[in-house]
Amino acid sequence: MSYYHIKHLEEYFQVYRKSVRDPEIFWEEIAEEHFLWRKRWDKVLNWDFNKPEVKWFEGAQLNITENCIDRHLAAKGDKTAILFEPNDPNEVAVHITYNELYERVNRFANVLKSKGIGKGDRVCIYLPMIPELAVAVLACARIGAIHSVVFAGFSATALSTRINDAECKMVITSDGSFRGAKTIDLKGIVDEALETCPSIETVLVAKRINSEINMKADRDEWLQPLLDKASPEGEAEIMNAEDPLFILYTSGSTGQPKGMVHTTGGYMVYTAYTFKNVFQYNDGDVYWCTADIGWITGHSYIVYGPLANGATTVMFEGVPTYPHWGRFWQVIEKHKVNQFYTAPTAIRALAKEPLSHVEGHDLSSLKVLGTVGEPINEEAWHWYNDNIGKMRSPIVDTWWQTETGGIMISPIPFATPTIPTFATLPMPGIQPCLMDENGEEIKGNPAQGRLCVKFPWPSMARTIWGNHQRYKETYFSAYDQKYFTGDGALRDQTGYYRITGRVDDVIIVSGHNLGTAPIEDAINEHQAVAESAIVGFPHDVKGNALYGYVILKETGEDRNQENLRKEINQLITERIGPIAKLDKIQFTSGLPKTRSGKIMRRILRKIASKDTSNLGDTSTLLNPEVVQEIMDNVL
Ligand code: WTA
């Protein structure tokens, strides 16, 4: 039996038991047999959740790009590594073979070096879903630079915050991006961001939309001429297993975004392992994950996990709605996609459109369907199962986080029986548990509580960039000796997990994590606003949408409310990005507060969700009368 590729349920249970009984032996065998190391580790695992400190494969040396590219060249040099499907279906798709990827990554790596980027330097990548994005990520990894990819839908302010937090030396961007029928002026956003980013020395600009842009002398350079001149050969930098590979920002419930730091060896082993099992990828398959590389899903399951397995991974530049609602299905048919991985919000949006967009496309290549990012509701699950998978392709509902680096709870297709809305069973090596209000682990089934993990796994984030204390407080302080996920979950009689949603002030809108505090900060910048509170409410496509309660200053009270709403959303777009815009804004004279001055979000959430049957005891509030006012004026 191979631990690396699980094919049956009994095998899963055997492997799982082994991974819990002898975690070090388990991961050591996988690491040894399936990866290329320049030097072997001295110790498989060192950990202490109190500090917290976790080290996997300490002492080992490697370069992840040798695992993702070089080692496949002999047998698979001409196989397509990255299959680029452009925004415009009339533009030809680009097949980048492993041989070509090797050359492109080396050229890019050599350009980075020529611009003074070396091991440990931070490089910000702000690019659309074009091949340069994947190549830039790998080029950083090749020379040991730490990439910080910022999703190219974030605003200039959000971009500069992230650049400054990591003190990046370089930004890699493009003139602009295509998004359906629209174009976005990415370089303009970068220029604006860089007005407040002193650490940036160089900006490399890929040409994508051929727009007129400003090039700042001594800072900005076109990428392609540099690539053309660079050598297609290059030695990979030898990295320690625990050297940082990348930083990726995720929203916290309070404060600045958190720069989660992932390291090299464990991240590689775990993302490759989970990719293989969760998607049951076999050589020759074409795998497509529709996420953006700006999110963790793209890092782990478009770039590193698939390439470490020598897979063909599709990179899609476009959107599901352009030029029509059948685009996803058209791409699946065109490239004979075997594994398809997307977000529940996309499924819900597609399910609202007539089935004629699906019909007429040959989806018979599909073998496995996946979802990620938020709970999938039963209706969407069935629509996906019936109309896309034709009840033949198992759906893997994969639960995980930016912080976990890889998939934590998921069915293994053709092995684990699936049930709608259940992420089912932990991956080998993952030891989840549920905690009660008193901080005790709830043993036995069924159970419901807060989801924690009680043993380290190879791809967990090791720290928050520049703020280890915050890492400790956020993830290791709520419960003794446990990693706290921020999610609630239940476990059924058979031990299957179902994720019920966030239990903190993070709201997931269309699969994007949004912290309430930064949005409130943006709103409060408006000169007419005195105070605000944001909550989520159920939305049939986005999963959750944002509802804002806003108290105006006296001077702002006679302003036109529609205009104010527009201005508030404009401010949010500028500070964070359009994804954080509010669906509803209710102006109110007060917010329900406890006597210690804490906003009672629970009450606001219920009112926004139109679920006021059981508001609980409001008499202890500082200002109980405001609850009635808010209910009377709910939108
Ligand atoms: C939520 C995305 C239910 C969860 C990989 C988690 C899910 C947060 C699922 C992390 C799922 C992700 N079912 N909820 N299958 N997958 N989530 O960091 O609340 O963008 O904590 O990572 O998304 O979001 P992130």
Any ligand 1 atom below 6 A from CB of 508? yes
User: For the segment 325-340, what is each residue's pLDDT rounded down to a tens digit?
Assistant: 999 999 999 999 999 9
CA distance 520 to 585: 12
> String of b and e for 475-489 (b: at least 16 CB within 10 Å)?
bbebbeebbbbbbbb
Atom number in ligand 1 closest to CA 409? 15
Q: Whose CA is nearest to atom 6 of ligand 1?
A: 401
Q: Would you place residue 517 in the very low, low, confident or very high pLDDT band (cuts 50, 70, 90)?
A: confident
Q: What is the mean pLDDT of residues 466-477?
A: 97
Q: Mean per-residue pLDDT for 181-202?
A: 98
Q: With a 6 A CB cut-off, is 496 part of the ligand 1 pocket?
A: no
> Where along the chain do its domains lie?
9-489, 510-632
Q: What integer is the mean pLDDT of 316-327? A: 97
Is residue 499 in contact with ligand 1, taking CB distance under 6 Å? yes
| Ligand 1 centroid – CA 177 distance (Å) | 27
Q: What percent of the chain has pLDDT over 70?
A: 100
**166 pLDDT tier (thresholds 50, 70, 90):** very high
State yes or no: pLDDT of 255 exceeds 80.
no
211-233 tens-digit pLDDT? 999 999 999 999 999 999 999 99
The pLDDT tens digits for 398-428 are 999 999 999 999 999 999 999 999 999 999 9
The model's pLDDT over 28-58, given as tens digits with 9 standing for 90+, comes to: 999 999 999 999 999 999 999 999 999 999 9
Residue 596 pLDDT level (bands cut at 50, 70, 90): confident
Neighbours of 562 (CB within 10 A): 9
Rounded-to-integer distance, Cα 492 and Cα 143, Å: 47
Reported confidence tier of residue 357, pLDDT bands at 50, 70, 90: very high
Residue 299 Cβ < 6 Å to ligand 1 = no
Closest ligand 1 atom to the C-alpha of 423?
Answer: 15
Q: How many CA atoms lie within 13 A of 238 on its CB side?
A: 7
Inter-residue contact 46 to 58 (CB < 8 Å): yes
pLDDT at 199 exceeding the cut of 90: yes
- Which fold, 9-489? Rossmann fold (3.40.50)
| Nearest atom (ligand 1) to Cα of 501 | 19
Residue 480 has pLDDT above 80, yes or no: yes
Interval between CA 508 and ligand 1 midpoint (Å): 8
Q: What single-letter DSSP state applies at residue 409?
A: B
Smallest CA separation from ligand 1 atom 12, residue: 373
Q: What is the C-alpha to C-alpha distance for residues 54 and 223, in angstroms, rounded to an integer?
A: 38
Is any atom of ligand 1 closer than 6 Å to the C-beta of 157?
Answer: no
Q: Using CA atoms, how far apart are residues 81 and 476, in angstroms rounded to an integer?
A: 38
The rounded distance, in Å, linking the Cα atoms of 549 and 85 is 42
Structure confidence at residue 437 (pLDDT)? 87
Lowest mean pLDDT among 244-258, 383-397, 611-625: 611-625
191 CB within 6 A, ligand 1: no
- DSSP one-letter string for 180-247: TTEEE-HHHHHHHHHTT-TT--EEEEE-SS-------TTTEEEHHHHHHHS-S--PPPPEETTSEEEE
* pLDDT for res 612: 85
67 and 275 Cβ atoms separated by less than 8 Å: no
In total, the chain counts a number of residues equal to: 635
pLDDT of residue 504: 87
Residues 102-127 have a mean pLDDT of 98
Q: What residue has token string 């991240």? A: 267
- Strand pairing of 368-372 and 312-316? unpaired
Q: Is the model's pLDDT at 162 over the cut of 80?
A: yes
Q: Which is the closest atom of ligand 1 to the Cα of 407?
A: 5
253 CA to centre of ligand 1 in angstroms: 15
Mean of all residue pLDDT scores within the chain? 96
Which residue has the least CA distance to atom 3 on ligand 1?
A: 375
**577 pLDDT band (50/70/90 cuts)?**
very high
DSSP string, 289-357: E-S-TTSHHHIIIIIIHHHHTT-EEEEE-S-TTSS-TTHHHHHHHHHT-SEEEE-HHHHHHHHTS-GGG
Q: Alpha helix locations (H) across 35-143?
A: 64-68, 73-76, 98-114, 131-143
Q: Which CATH architecture has domain 510-632?
A: 2-Layer Sandwich (3.30)
Nearest-angstrom CA–CA distance, 131 and 147: 16
Is there an atom of ligand 1 within 6 Å of 393 CB? no
The closest residue, in CA terms, to atom 1 on ligand 1 is 374
To which residue do tokens 């950083």 refer?
140
Q: Which atom of ligand 1 is nearest to the CA of 403?
A: 18
Give, as one character, the DSSP assignment of residue 93: P
Q: What is the mean pLDDT of residues 167-189?
A: 97
Closest alpha carbon to 511 in 470, 539, 483: 539
Q: What is the mean pLDDT of the segment spanning 549-555? A: 90
Is the confidence at residue 559, as pLDDT, over 90?
no
Answer yes or no: is pLDDT of 555 > 80. Answer: no
Question: Which residue's CA is the nearest one to ligand 1's atom 23?
Answer: 373
DSSP state of 398: E
Closest CA to 200 of 173, 177, 178, 231: 173
**Kind plus residue range of the DSSP H or E element containing 490:** strand 483-491
| C-alpha 399 to ligand 1 mean position (Å) | 6
423 lines ligand 1 (CB under 6 A): yes
Nearest to 58 by CA among 208, 367, 224, 266: 266
Residues 8-29 have pLDDT tens digits of 999 999 999 999 999 999 999 9
Total-model pTM: 0.94
Check residue 1 and give its pLDDT. 61
**Lookup: tokens for 317:** 């530049």
User: How many CA atoms within 13 Å lie on the side-chain side of 87?
Assistant: 17
pLDDT of residue 558: 81
**Interaxial angle between packed helices 186-194 and 156-166, expressed in degrees from 0 to 180 and rounded to the nearest 10:** 50
